[in-house]
Amino acid sequence: MILVDQETCVGCGDCVDACPFAAITMADDRPVIGDACTLCGACVDACPSGSLRLDALEKERPGGQETWRGVMVFAEFRHGRLAPVALELLGVGRKLADALAVPLSAALLGADGPEFQEAASSLIRHGADLVYAAGHPALQHFSEENYTRTLTAIIRRYQPEIVLAGATAIGRSFIPAVATHLGAGLTADCTGLDIRVEDRALLQTRPAFGGNIMATIVCPDVRPQMATVRPKVMRELPPDDGRQGEIVAFQIDEALLSSRGRVIESVVAEADQVNIQEADILVSGGRGLDDPKGFELLRRLAEAVGGKVAASRAAVDAGWIAYPHQVGQTGKTVAPKLYIACGISGALQHVAGMQSSETIVAINRDPHAPIFDVADYGLVGDLYEIVPKLIAKIFERRGQ
Ligand SMILES: Cc1cc2nc3c(=O)[nH]c(=O)nc-3n(C[C@H](O)[C@H](O)[C@H](O)COP(=O)(O)OP(=O)(O)OC[C@H]3O[C@@H](n4cnc5c(N)ncnc54)[C@H](O)[C@@H]3O)c2cc1C
Architecture of domain 271-397: 3-Layer(aba) Sandwich (3.40)
More confident: 265 or 111: 111
Q: Is the CB of 284 under 6 A from ligand 1?
A: no
Which residues of the chain form CATH 3.40.50.620?
A: 65-257
pLDDT at 210 over 80: no
Atom nearest to 328 CA in ligand 1: 8
* Pair 316, 325: CB distance under 8 Å: yes
User: Which residues belong to CATH 3.30.70.20 in the chain?
Assistant: 2-60
- In this prediction, residue 269 carries a pLDDT of 63
Question: Could you tell me where the DSSP H helices lie in 128-245?
Answer: 144-158, 169-182
The whole-number average pLDDT for the span 69-92 is 95
* Binding site membership of 383 for ligand 1 (Cβ less than 6 Å): yes
Residue 375 DSSP code:
-
Beta strands in 143-296 (DSSP E): 162-166, 186-190, 192-196, 201-208, 213-217, 225-229, 246-249, 281-285
For the structural domain made of 2-60, what CATH number should be given?
A: 3.30.70.20
CB 40 within 8 A of CB 56: no
- State whether the beta carbon of 313 lies less than 6 angstroms from ligand 1: yes
Give dist(CA 233, CA 236) in Å, integer. 10
Average model confidence (pLDDT) across the chain? 92
- Determine the residue of 298, 326, 329 to mutate for testing ligand 1's pocket, defined as the one with the most ligand atoms within 8 A of the Cβ atom: 329
Q: Is the CB of 276 under 6 A from ligand 1?
A: no
Residue whose Cα lies nearest atom 7 of ligand 1: it is 328
204 ligand 1 Cβ < 6 A: no
pTM over 0.85: no
269 three-state secondary structure: coil
DSSP summary character for residue 117: H
Question: Which ligand 1 atom is nearest residue 329's CA?
Answer: 8
Q: Which long-range contacts (CB under 8 A, 24 or more apart) does 89-92 make?
A: 89/164, 89/165, 89/166, 89/229, 89/234, 90/123, 90/126, 90/127, 90/128, 90/236, 90/237, 91/126, 91/127, 91/234, 91/235, 91/236, 91/237, 92/164, 92/193, 92/229, 92/234, 92/235
Strand partners, 163: 72, 226
> In the structure, what pLDDT confidence band is assigned to residue 63 with cuts at 50, 70 and 90?
low
Nearest-CA residue for ligand 1 atom 1 is 210
Mind listing the pLDDT tens digit for each residue in 217-233? 999 889 999 999 988 88
* Domain 65-257: assigned CATH number: 3.40.50.620
The answer on pLDDT for 379 being more than 90 is yes
Residues of the chain with CATH 3.40.50.1220: 271-397
**Ligand 1 centroid – CA 312 distance (Å):** 6
Q: Is the CB of 316 under 6 A from ligand 1?
A: no
**For 304, what's the count of Cα atoms within 13 Å in the CB-facing half-sphere?**
22
314 close to ligand 1 (CB < 6 Angstrom) = yes
User: Is the model's pLDDT at 59 over the cut of 50?
Assistant: no
